[in-house]
């Protein structure tokens, strides 16, 4: 979890890296993991996931971060997310993703977590997704998307929990805390 140090007028501060993500149910994880193994060089570093807060650095203790994240997540109800079609972010970012249909609860969660963690919202037009492929050359883009599409039907997933992730041994990202959304009333 150790990432480095930041120094300011009060002295050096130990920095940790963390992220907030939705991990997939086992059955869907198995399908997506096989695809990522073929097309994503980061497949072994982190399990298939939907980023809610991308990796960030903090000098706050884990207990404080976990408390902030828990207060936001536990105030939200369980939700369903619907996967959509294969998308890409070329030419800005060389990756191919499984898109997620607009979801107001997920968007609010994204904004509230960034605010609570005092992290600037990086994308005003938040487009949640699951990364499938990275570093695919632009001339292979359509070929890879066509190869991925048959494996990715429209799919709905019930989200009951969200995880706080951090890199550990060999920079592999793992869940260090799991937070449960409240049950619908």
Question: Cα 145 to the chain's mean position, in Å?
Answer: 21
CA atoms of 166 and 56, how far apart (whole Å): 10
23 forms bridges with which residues in the sheet? 49
pLDDT at 121: 87
| Average pLDDT rounded to a whole number, residues 119-131 | 85
Q: When comparing pLDDT for 15 and 68, which is higher?
A: 68
Q: Which two tokens stand for residue 172?
A: 């592999």
The pLDDT tens digits for 94-107 are: 889 999 999 999 99
Return all residues near 76 (Cβ < 8 A) that are at least 6 apart: 105, 108, 109, 181, 182
Domain boundaries, given as residue ranges, for the chain: 2-180
CATH code of 2-180, in short, is: 3.90.1140.10
pLDDT at 162: 97
The pLDDT tens digits for 40-95 are: 998 999 999 999 999 999 989 999 999 999 999 999 999 999 999 899 887 778 88
Decide if pLDDT at 8 tops 60. no
Closest to 20 measured CA to CA, from 66, 65, 42, 52? 52
- Percentage of the chain modeled with pLDDT above 90: 61
The pLDDT tens digits for 161-172 are: 999 999 987 789
Decide if pLDDT at 2 tops 90. no
């Amino acid at each position: 979890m150790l990432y480095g140090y930041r120094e300011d007028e009060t002295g050096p501060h130990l920095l940790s890296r963390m992220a907030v993500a939705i991990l997939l149910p086992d059955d869907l994880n198995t399908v997506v993991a096989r695809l990522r193994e073929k097309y994503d060089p980061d497949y072994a570093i982190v399990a298939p996931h939907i980023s809610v807060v991308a990796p960030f650095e903090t000098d706050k203790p884990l207990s404080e971060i976990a408390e902030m994240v828990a207060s936001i997540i536990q105030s939200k109800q369980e939700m369903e997310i619907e996967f959509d079609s294969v998308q890409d972010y070329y030419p800005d970012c060389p990756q191919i993703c499984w898109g997620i249909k607009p979801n107001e609860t997920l968007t609010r969660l994204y904004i509230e977590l960034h605010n609570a963690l005092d992290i600037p919202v990086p994308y005003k037009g938040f487009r949640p997704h699951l990364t499938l492929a990275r570093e695919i050359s632009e001339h292979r883009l359509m070929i890879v998307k066509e190869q991925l599409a048959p494996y990715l039907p429209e799919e709905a997933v019930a989200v009951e929990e969200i995880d706080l992730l951090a890199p550990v041994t060999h920079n592999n990202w793992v869940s260090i805390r799991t937070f449960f959304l409240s049950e619908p009333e």
